[in-house]
Structure 1
Amino acid sequence: MTEQYPGPPPGQQPPPVHDYPPPTYYPPRSYQPQPRYPSFPHPEPTPYHQMLRTWTYVWWKPVLGLLICLFGFLFVTTVVFVLVALVAAAFAPGSYLDAFGRSADFSKVTPSSLLGLNLGLASMVLVTWFVIRVLHGMRPRWLTSVVPKMRWRFFATCLGLAVVALIAQVAVGSLLPGTGEDVGDGSLNHFTVSTAASALVILLTTPLQAAGEEYIFRGYTLMAIGSLFPRAQANLGKWVAIVVTAVLFALAHGSQNFPLFFDRLAFGLIAAWLVTKTGGLEAGIALHVLNNFLAFGFALAFGNLGDSLNISEISWWNIVVTVTQSGVYTVLVLWVARRMGLQTKTQPPEPEPGPAPAGEVATA
């Protein structure tokens, strides 16, 4: 039943009807669609050291990325090392705390401590992948090269060239005083279960460790510093990035005398420069892997792994050896890269042609 409301009392007028203003008129707003960027990250051919200058580039992204990588280098590597030591101690004989202490002691390197060190540094690959994907919206493969992917044929060739450079290094070093690897009294070490385990760790994880250092120093850090410079100053940014990453790489190895610092600085300079000349990390990874194989292999067979990892002094004569190896390798890599016709900049796809004007027939 419909509810009835009483009218006004007899003799009274109904209340006046108020004239309310008409509703406010809002003109229709034109819809502004969000800009859509092409799937390819770069608007024009871009060298490796500026690949973070994508369509969505802003200056603070590389700066934040560098801070995240620094956190990863200091924290993530430590966490991975401790986790490996904890797991290894659980399977070691004797007291758990004693076993953990042995796993974390670098004065006498054990297979587990070497594994923790290598995997900790290898985790830098994942850290840089995370940063470039989440912060810059780029696929991780862009860190490897401008193609973007690992150019396996070039990488395999660089491994061979690194062997040639190492042979030249050993040959020159044998002619100079105090430049050889630490081989103790020259006798072969006794082969034990620990030796076999260490050899297996070196064989399987040293390439990952070397790649981790290359991805964080010659990869993301080189890109981030180079990308802070505008395209008009790309060449200046390249050299600043090369020098800064080389210095950081040398300093990251801790206490060292000048010849050893120069050795690591020279490696960082050559590896970074080759990245800019070849458009990828392959040459640096190859030389890094072979260098570490040689150092760890000699120490495991004739010397002491702990001394090799904790080395802080080398002879001044080693500078000659370093220059020999770096020079031979650089010349060979540049020659091979030129012969292979390596791509050194990104190649954005050609824009699709628009529809043909009326009356014209498009031809293939």
Structure 2
Amino acid sequence: MTQPPFPPAPPPGRPDGPPPAEPFGQPPAYAAGPPPYTSTWPAPSSTSSSAGRTPVPGQQPGPDQRPTSPTSAGLAPSGDDHREGLPYHLLLRGGWGGSWWRSLVGILCLALGMVLVLPFLMLVPFVVYYAATGQEVASSVTRLVDLTNPTPASLAYLNLALAGLIPFCWVIIRYLHGLRPRWLSSIAPRLRWRYLLVCVGLSFAALILTLVVAALLPQQADTSLSGELNEFTPRIRDFMLVVLLLTPLQAAAEEYAFRGYLLQAFGGMFRSPWVAVGASSLIFALAHGAQDPPIFFDRFAFGVVAGVLVIVTGGLEAGIAMHVLNNWLAFGFALAFGDMGSALNPTGGTWWSLPTTLTQSLSYLALAWWVARRMGLTTRTDPAVLAAPQARV
């Protein structure tokens, strides 16, 4: 008796039928002629959807069945990048084509957000609070934005406006370059918390070396510090709370903006890590406004060291730790022996301060780089991980 080509259908009303033919999971044998598809079930492939469906031969895959490998997603434009992965400063080339104009538009958007958008958005809750508590709004806002004679509210407003750079950069890299925001943190792609905590300890070690060097240099009078401990008042207490809670967000945001997005943007435009580090450091120094040449050079050198740390460690963690400690120290000394206005608007810089700050920065650079190598941190992405959505523009 000839075996029917297909098993009999189940009776009406019954969802189940007879068990599949042996061996289990194999389709039934055909009587004659070539099979319509294959003689065995196809093995699961990378083009299957998350629900486990397999595309039908001859049919175009659906949106959830598109390949997501680096090559099929239009990533790694060169063969070397595809085989070895991308370094941090070239990550934007793994996005939507890595076009130079996207980086240029992103830089302009970041500048617009820093100067206009974020300060205005962060001003809204303060205006609402002043109006709800019956305060005169215009004069209160004037005092709020006056950084020459800042109040705790002024420092909080400034820190919150700068902290907004983190989500602002996330939006730029996601919707302009097609990369997930986590690629701004490191090539992991994530914030490597263990290394970040280690870098906090390393920053204190570099500080000790700095104090040793400062003791050997000629003493320069600092007119911003009185030499006498300030009286602890409710105003000082409020300043301390703002510095302790919001300064880490402000410092991390500046790293995400200048050593994160700007470094990647210039890297995407010029490919050179040194151009990316130099250009982002120059903009970082200029963004602090009018300043004396020694102070400008000090900030530029800080940006260069933080940028080099990003290149040699593959992430922002070392720069964030150093930046947070520097700002804590600057604001802490101002609260203890000076005033916050002098800390936010330093003047009268001296070239004798550069050996001290360079000792701190360069010793920290060496320590953080050495620890990163000991921890086995890589500086290139895994080629199979970096994936960007399809371009929409």
TM over 0.5: yes
Distance between the aligned counterparts of 2:303 and 2:135, measured in 1? Answer: 43
**Structure 1 segment 90-101 matched on structure 2, within 5 A:** 90=131, 95-101=136-142
Aligned letter for 1:51?
A: L
Name structure 2 gaps, 5 residues minimum: 1-57, 77-81, 386-393
% identical aligned pairs: 47
1:300 corresponds in structure 2 to 335
Distance between the aligned counterparts of 1:293 and 1:155, measured in 2? Answer: 16
Q: Identify which of 20, 31, 53 aligns with 2:93.
A: 53
Q: Is the 8 A contact 1:170 1:180 kept in 2?
A: no
Q: Identify which of 211, 222, 225 aligns with 1:184.
A: 225
Q: Identify which of 309, 316, 322 aligns with 1:281.
A: 316
1:38 corresponds in structure 2 to 68
The yes-or-no answer on 1:199 pairing with 2:237 is no
1:133 corresponds in structure 2 to 174
1:67 corresponds in structure 2 to 108
Cα pair distance change 1:316/1:175, threshold 3 Å: same
1:270 corresponds in structure 2 to 305
Q: Is the 8 A contact 2:119 2:161 kept in 1?
A: yes
Does the residue aligned with 2:290 lie in a helix, a strand or coil?
A: coil
Deviations 1:86-106 (A, max 9, x none): 255447786443333222222
Displacement, 1:31? 10
The yes-or-no answer on 1:255 pairing with 2:296 is no
TM-score normalized by structure 1?
0.80
Cα pair distance change 1:176/1:93, threshold 3 Å: farther
Cα pair distance change 1:253/1:102, threshold 3 Å: same
Structure 1 window deviating more from structure 2 (306-315 vs 184-193): it is 184-193
Distance between the aligned counterparts of 1:270 and 1:180, measured in 2? Answer: 27
Does the residue aligned with 1:248 lie in a helix, a strand or coil?
A: helix
Distance between the aligned counterparts of 2:221 and 2:373, measured in 1? Answer: 33
Distance between the aligned counterparts of 1:267 and 1:92, measured in 2? Answer: 42
How many residues are aligned here? 315
1:117 corresponds in structure 2 to 158
Distance between the aligned counterparts of 1:249 and 1:277, measured in 2? Answer: 20
Name structure 1 gaps, 5 residues minimum: 1-29, 351-364
Cα pair distance change 1:336/1:241, threshold 3 Å: same
TM-score normalized by structure 2?
0.74
Cα pair distance change 1:165/1:93, threshold 3 Å: farther
CA RMSD for the aligned pairs? 2.5
Displacement, 1:228? 1.6
1:76 corresponds in structure 2 to 117
Structure 1 window deviating more from structure 2 (313-322 vs 268-277): it is 313-322
Does the residue aligned with 1:53 lie in a helix, a strand or coil?
A: helix
Q: Is the 8 A contact 1:81 1:120 kept in 2?
A: yes
Distance between the aligned counterparts of 1:180 and 1:145, measured in 2? Answer: 41
**Whose Rg is larger?**
1
Cα pair distance change 1:185/1:70, threshold 3 Å: closer
Aligned letter for 2:161?
A: G
Cα pair distance change 1:179/1:146, threshold 3 Å: farther
Deviations 1:123-182 (A, max 9, x none): 111110001111122111110000000000100011111111122223322333455766
Distance between the aligned counterparts of 1:288 and 1:327, measured in 2? Answer: 14
